[in-house]
């Protein structure tokens, strides 16, 4: 878990911005040039380039320049890493709730057995 | 998606810090008082309280004061919201790859049919 920590800091920081999430939403439907990512957003192209830099540093996007066009692609592996961290916490919590439920049912059953002996 | 945006900003921002994630890891194993969350971390109790404030603002933790002890519990609903956003992007991307695979197989099959006609 500790080895993943710097990655996870960058990953969740990258996801904490609405324009960066909008770029990822667009890229999840297919690779696109930077200009197409920036166009629907109320920000300048240089600002979009900065956001792209944050997404690339987190490993969420890979971009490549072919001629004069820089094309971006989403990196599903990094998305998966962030998803797994959250999912592991949720599952651990739910399993704890399940065990608590089992324990309460055991107590209830013991109570009923005690009652039948009276 | 837009209605969820402020929540998601707070959620992912809260997850971007290693001490806050450590607190959530502890809480996924069961509710705990603030002092127990802070003890294993190399930060002061006031700093831990500030991190707790960020987790509460994001809806990831709920705390309640009983007498002199403030007890914290993880909120699985908020974890689920962050998880769903990431998972939706990943699934959308994977489905796109599947469709692309189908298309390439169709082209391949058409190529083979053309070949057999020669």
- Chain A residues with CB-CB distance to B101 below 8 A: none
B41–chain A nearest CA distance, Å: 13
The answer to whether residue B117 scores a pLDDT higher than 70 is: no
Over residues B86-97, the pLDDT tens digits come to 999 999 998 888
Specify the higher pLDDT residue, B88 or A105.
B88
Q: What's residue B118's pLDDT? A: 52
A13/B9 touch (CB, cutoff 8 Å), yes or no? no
Specify the higher pLDDT residue, A114 or B28.
B28
CB neighbourhood size of B34 (10 A)? 18
Q: Which long-range contacts (CB under 8 A, 24 or more apart) does A102-111 make?
A: none
- Compute the distance between CA of residue B118 and CA of residue B113 in angstroms, rounded to an integer: 9
Indicate whether this model's pTM tops 0.90: no
Q: What's residue A108's pLDDT? A: 86
Over residues B71-112, the pLDDT tens digits come to 999 999 999 999 999 999 999 998 888 888 888 888 888 888
Q: What's residue B1's pLDDT? A: 46
Question: How many A-B residue pairs are in contact by the CB < 8 A criterion?
Answer: 93
The answer to whether residue A114 scores a pLDDT higher than 90 is: no
- Compute the distance between CA of residue A84 and CA of residue A87 in angstroms, rounded to an integer: 5
CA distances from A30 to A79, B27, B96, B97 (A): 15, 38, 7, 9
Q: What's residue B109's pLDDT? A: 86
- Compute the distance between CA of residue A47 and CA of residue A22 in angstroms, rounded to an integer: 14
Q: What's residue A1's pLDDT? A: 46
């Amino acid at each position: 878990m500790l080895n993943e920590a710097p990655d996870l800091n960058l990953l969740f920081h990258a996801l904490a911005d609405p324009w960066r999430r909008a770029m990822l939403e667009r890229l999840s439907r297919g690779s696109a040039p930077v200009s197409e990512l920036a166009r629907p957003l109320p920000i300048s192209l240089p600002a979009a380039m900065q956001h792209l830099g944050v997404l690339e540093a987190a490993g969420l996007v890979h971009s490549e320049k072919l001629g004069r066009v820089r094309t971006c692609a989403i990196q599903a592996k990094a998305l998966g890493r962030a998803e797994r961290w959250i999912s592991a916490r949720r599952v651990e919590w739910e399993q704890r709730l399940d065990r608590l439920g089992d324990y309460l049912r055991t107590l209830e059953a013991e109570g009923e057995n005690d009652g039948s002996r009276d």
